[in-house]
Structure 1
Amino acid sequence: MHRLGQVLIGMGLIGLLAAPAMTQARMDEAGFQSNVAAFESSHDSTALNKSPALDQFPAFVNLAQATQPHQADVETQVIEQRNKEIVQQYFDGWRDGTGSVFDLLAPNATWTITGTGETAGTYSRQALLDQVVSPTSARLSTPIVPTVRGIWADGDMVIVLWDGEATARDGRPYQNTYTWYFRMQDGKAVEAIAFLDMQVFNDLWTRVSPRN
């Protein structure tokens, strides 16, 4: 009995000594499994998609694309600038007395005079020259001299704001402000719309008789 007691006591001591080691082993194993689970979850596609840094990546891509000029926009700007320069050249020639702005019109162009009065309406190029331009010049003792305030382009449309000044055959000044819209094609205007003070223009036509 005495020897059996010693054996049981010894086994009890061994169990007590082994318990901390077994507990630590279980903790280490649990920690390893936890780390593995965390590692696997961090590589999960859903977790990656939820990463704030990756969420912002498409925004950076879109910003870069938005800041790059599109080829179509560049081509439009080139066309607009060329059309502005063409119209400016015709106005310069008209101002200097070396050309006519109406040479800007294509043969098949249409010209619309807005407002009311004898000359309001839409004309072909030749009809405009015969029925409006020539009769107006016949009522003036000096040609109209244009002063351009500004020229703008939007696509194939060129807008010109300008002042015209001349002297009528009765000695009174003729002064008017115009806004002309030109739709450009291949360096020529295929359509024009003219805004002006029709009251001033109509007064010139009714007050002054054209020279023969």
Structure 2
Amino acid sequence: MSPLTSEAKFTLTLEYAKSLVDPLAQSDWGPLMGVIDPDVRWRIASETNDLEKMTGVFNLSTWMEQISGPLVKRLVNDAPPKFTIQYLQTVGNRLIMEAYGEAMQKNGNPYQNTYAWFFTFSEETGKVVEIHEYLDTALVQEVVQTNTL
């Protein structure tokens, strides 16, 4: 349940944020994905879309299709990395998170990447409407290029 006040305005709390991101430790994106607006503006490292470099601006479905999907399909069990949250802070309706993601690639090599995410939640809906994501995109590109489907 999202923390809405009596005036139906969303207020982000650290407790609520933890309920969304703690499941990432078990590769469970369900709670977090459930609060991401389908029309989210998801920016990875750059405003310029360059799928070769795995950067650009996406909505939820294009992020899943063009970024997450190609990576996850090349990891053992077709599962996202397990994340260890290293830093988590709320500032107003923004969530700032640094996390370490770890998985095994299908080619037997480890996948280890550090992520920084800045999530902006809508005061009206409680949904994530903007994400800025930073990670080693060259590593993601390498995983996609060196693992066959």
TM range (shorter): 0.7 to 0.9
| Structure 1 unaligned residues grouped into runs of 5+ | 1-77
Describe the superposition over 1:143-190 as per-residue Cα deviations: whole angstroms up to 9, x where unpaired.
Answer: 310100111122221110000000001010000000000001132210
Q: Is the 8 A contact 1:141 1:168 kept in 2?
A: yes
Of 128, 132, 138, the residue aligned with 1:189 is 128
1:133: Cα distance to partner? Answer: 1.1
Describe the superposition over 1:73-129 as per-residue Cα deviations: whole angstroms up to 9, x where unpaired.
Answer: xxxxx934x2x3333212222323554333331122111111574320000111111
C-alpha root-mean-square deviation of aligned residues, in Å?
A: 2.0
Matched ranges for 1:3-18 at <5 A:
none
Q: Is the 8 A contact 2:120 2:128 kept in 1?
A: yes
Matched ranges for 1:1-212 at <5 A:
79-80=11-12, 82=13, 84-100=14-30, 101-114=32-45, 117-142=52-77, 143=79, 144-185=81-122, 186-209=125-148, 211=149
Residue 150 to residue 163, structure 1, CA distance change in 2 (3 Å):
same
Alignment-mate amino acid for residue 112 of structure 1: R
Greater Cα shift, 196-205 or 169-178: 196-205
SS in 1 for 2:34: helix
Aligned partners of 1:138, 1:125: CA distance in 2, in Å? 17
Alignment-mate amino acid for residue 141 of structure 2: N
SS in 2 for 1:176: strand
Aligned identity (percent) is 24
Aligned partners of 1:171, 1:104: CA distance in 2, in Å? 33
Alignment-mate amino acid for residue 114 of structure 1: A
Query: What TM-score do the two structures reach when normalised by structure 2?
Result: 0.78
SS in 1 for 2:113: strand
Q: Is the 8 A contact 1:87 1:104 kept in 2?
A: no
Aligned partners of 2:55, 2:101: CA distance in 1, in Å? 18
Aligned partners of 1:128, 1:204: CA distance in 2, in Å? 17
Alignment-mate amino acid for residue 196 of structure 1: L
Query: What TM-score do the two structures reach when normalised by structure 1?
Result: 0.56
Higher helix share: 1
Query: Across the two proteins, how many residue pairs are aligned to each other?
Result: 131
Residue 194 to residue 126, structure 1, CA distance change in 2 (3 Å):
same
Higher relative contact order (CA 8 A, sep 6+): 2
Aligned partners of 1:176, 1:120: CA distance in 2, in Å? 15
| Structure 2 unaligned residues grouped into runs of 5+ | 1-9
Q: Is the 8 A contact 1:86 1:187 kept in 2?
A: no
